[in-house]
Structure 1
Amino acid sequence: MAGESFGLGEVLVAAENASPVQSVAVVARNLRDRFDASDVSFLFVDLIGQEVVRLADQRGSESGHTAERFRLRGSVYDDVLRSQRLYRESRRDGQERVLAPVTNRGDVIGLLELTVPHTDEAVRRQIGEAAHALAYIIVTDRRFTDLYHSGQRTTRMGLGSEIQHQLLPSASCCEAAEFTVACGLVPADNVGGDTYDYALDRNTLHLSITDAMGHDVDSAILATLLVGALRRARRERGDVLEQARQAHQALSHYNRGFATGQLFRVDLEQGMVQVVNAGHPRPLLLRDGEVREVHLDADLPFGVPMTWPYSIQKLELRLGDRLILITDGMREREAAALDLPALIREGRDLHPREAVRALTSAVNDVAHGDLQDDATVLCFDWNGPATTPS
């Protein structure tokens, strides 16, 4: 069996015929049958990328869920997620422990862990394929169950935070030929009104980062109005000016407060960016090893009475540019002690996903895990226009 193809079609059919909560069990059964694998389990990465939580092999258990948690930093799990490479180690009983990243288009979902009698190149390749298949299965099946959402939580969330996290994209990272975008928000169990968003069109990438005034449920409701208005305008093919106009109109009409924000429209064929800056902290640009603040004039925040329209500003990207969008939680209060440009320079060789985790971990550490405001980061890497096949 070890020399055969993984049989992706067979696993996908089995997953489709099973309950959506049985995704891990389907892959585990396949691995047991093929390689006599044991102790097969899936580990979630938590919402802020600090821990992994084990969802066990569901044989003999109705839920298959345990509270077993592991700190990521400095662990072998962290090494696997950072490198995105399969890991194996020999055990005293002669068997081998194997870890494989479960990732979809750059978005880290977790890890597959199992024990097998032995591995060779073919077995390792097929375990990697199984982990990749599991990523697609989980992305599909988590639409139908709270199992995977619950597994990501390592702290209790308030109502405001629950609302806020429903406003975020389902994947915090996306890789494409032209770019990689990754996002992060801390803390997960409190809320200060921050959101991030992205959406890919055929030749355009839309990015946004916003910060609604207030805290807890009030700011979450304000953020709901804001994100809803932005997404409606975007999905109706509105440009960044129209998105800004509708966001401002929504907040003004319901008179619930104001929000700062930045809207970006990236032309993926030309590398040109249109930006609307509604009173938000300026982004940082890493170019040729140096970090500088991007000079953007500030219009008034969304929801603040104004007598003139929002303005479009332009930015031309160069190959290798890294753009960092932030909210004030990354600069103010406890975060003021951080040297953000230095941290960005130090992490210039990191994948955007890991660069975001490094920045959010740094601000969480300096606040000793007790941030008084959300701290949000969006990291965008520009790889250049995709080459069109001839």
Structure 2
Amino acid sequence: MSDGPASVGALLRAAPPDRLPEVTAQHLRDRYPVARTEILLGDLAMTGLWPVLDPEGPAGGPLEQRCFGSQQPVVDGRPDGTARVLVPLTVWGDRLGVLRVETAQPAGPDLTAELSGLAGELAMALRTADRDTDRYHLVRRRQRLTMAAELQWDLLPGRSLSGERFRLAGGLEPAYAVYGDHYDWAVTGDRLTLTVLNGHGDGIEATLLTAVAVNAMRNARRSGAGIVEQAELASDAVWSRYGGNAHAATLLLEIDLTDGGVEAVDAGSPRAMIAHDGDIRPVTLEQQLPLGMFGDTRYETQKFQLQPGDRLLVASDGVHAAAPGGRVPYGQTALITALRRTRLQPPPEAVQTVIRGLRDYHDGLDADDDAVLVCLDWLRQPA
């Protein structure tokens, strides 16, 4: 059998979904002078990296966090000639965690490159295996989810996504008790569709409402419909189910990745902002009716333009309207301050910075609403 990432990919495809870590560790022992292997996964709230092979072992430390944040390998050479190599576990820009390998010899560029390739195969396998085993879910959860949060996390597309011309990330707060807020995205060819949704109400009823709206929009999108038809089908579905007693405030965006043109349907409270070189300005759109408020609602698109290097941020009202203890809403000043701190951070880090700022703004008070934030960097026009 051949060596390298191709062979480990074949091994992982043949392995049971819950045994991927052990298969990887055995492959590394057979191929390299490896003393120890560990796979660390990020938790739902992105507060740490947690071990899979030895669940009682320590969480990832500063070096693991540096590897995860930078998305670059980290090599920790030691005086005795051994080394610790850390490589990110990432698939299509979705950051899963870190692979840590302790070797009995110095780690050169060739070994680091081979481990990076292997980590890519493992990340793809882990993401696929999530549908058939609970093992990795158990590692990522540091506390029990509410039923509403369970449904929401299964409905999400992922936490980040990247391509040649964009970087994208989303976050939910509180991670273990979110209910009505949601984001969705899909990239097909030169078109990126992005939606941010704030379902009416709270608890599991808000989540069920969101599930109806999101799946209706997906159904339309996957039939080739544009965002107007997506909004109208979702509105009709919500109205049919709830008769106007519940609705879903939603912002639908379709971004042309070739020229940065954006078509939008603003059907409610999520707000968009554009940041560029430290300057942050709101995207002004004419607000239309939330999905499902009335029967046979019709929608129109509006347009705005992204420039190369622009950062587009979309926040639900749980972010921009948060006013814990009667304070000034977070969106008036504190959100802009938090966004300015993210200028040099990639979208996944930027999202977490703003969410941490939102937690700090509540200063121990329970949030009145859940929150979602999505961050998109449009990198450049095609050559």
Give the TM-score taking structure 1 as reference length: 0.90
Match of 1:300 among 289, 293, 297: 289
Which is worse superposed, 253-262 or 90-99? 90-99
- The alpha carbon displacement at 1:291 in A equals 0.1
Instruction: Label 1:307 to 1:223 Cα distance change in 2 as closer, same or farther (>3 A).
Output: closer
CA contact (8 A) 1:192 1:213 kept: no
In the aligned structure 2, how far is the partner of 1:319 from the partner of 1:117?
46
CA contact (8 A) 2:52 2:136 kept: no
Q: Structure 1: which amino acid aligns with 2:355?
A: T
Which residue does 1:323 correspond to in 2?
A: 312
Which is worse superposed, 234-243 or 303-312? 303-312
Instruction: Label 1:308 to 1:106 Cα distance change in 2 as closer, same or farther (>3 A).
Output: closer
What SS does the aligned partner of 2:84 have?
strand
The runs of 5 or more residues in structure 2 that have no matched partner are none
In the aligned structure 1, how far is the partner of 2:200 from the partner of 2:317?
11
In the aligned structure 2, how far is the partner of 1:385 from the partner of 1:236?
28
CA contact (8 A) 2:196 2:270 kept: no
CA contact (8 A) 1:326 1:377 kept: yes
In the aligned structure 2, how far is the partner of 1:67 from the partner of 1:301?
47
Which residue does 2:348 correspond to in 1?
A: 353
Which is worse superposed, 81-90 or 44-53? 81-90
Which residue does 1:364 correspond to in 2?
A: 359
CA contact (8 A) 1:102 1:132 kept: yes
Give the TM-score taking structure 2 as reference length: 0.91
The runs of 5 or more residues in structure 1 that have no matched partner are 57-64
- The alpha carbon displacement at 1:69 in A equals 5.7
Residues matched between the structures, number: 372
In the aligned structure 1, how far is the partner of 2:201 from the partner of 2:125?
38
CA contact (8 A) 1:278 1:302 kept: yes
Which residue does 2:104 correspond to in 1?
A: 117
Q: Structure 2: which amino acid aligns with 1:270?
A: D
Q: Structure 2: which amino acid aligns with 1:174?
A: L
- The alpha carbon displacement at 1:6 in A equals 5.3
Within a 5 Å distance, the mapping from 1:26-175 to structure 2 comes to: 26-56=23-53, 66-68=55-57, 70=59, 75-91=62-78, 94-118=81-105, 119-169=107-157, 171-175=158-162
In the aligned structure 2, how far is the partner of 1:372 from the partner of 1:40?
43
Q: Structure 1: which amino acid aligns with 2:47?
A: Q
RMSD over equivalenced CA pairs, Å: 2.0
- The alpha carbon displacement at 1:55 in A equals 0.3
Which residue does 1:177 correspond to in 2?
A: 164
- The alpha carbon displacement at 1:261 in A equals 0.8
CA contact (8 A) 2:9 2:122 kept: no
Instruction: Label 1:383 to 1:303 Cα distance change in 2 as closer, same or farther (>3 A).
Output: same
CA contact (8 A) 1:300 1:306 kept: no
Which residue does 1:380 correspond to in 2?
A: 376
- The alpha carbon displacement at 1:314 in A equals 0.3
Match of 1:336 among 329, 335, 350: 329
- The alpha carbon displacement at 1:368 in A equals 4.5
In the aligned structure 1, how far is the partner of 2:347 from the partner of 2:301?
26
Within a 5 Å distance, the mapping from 1:265-304 to structure 2 comes to: 265-304=254-293
Instruction: Label 1:339 to 1:33 Cα distance change in 2 as closer, same or farther (>3 A).
Output: same
Q: Structure 1: which amino acid aligns with 2:27?
A: N
CA contact (8 A) 1:52 1:69 kept: no
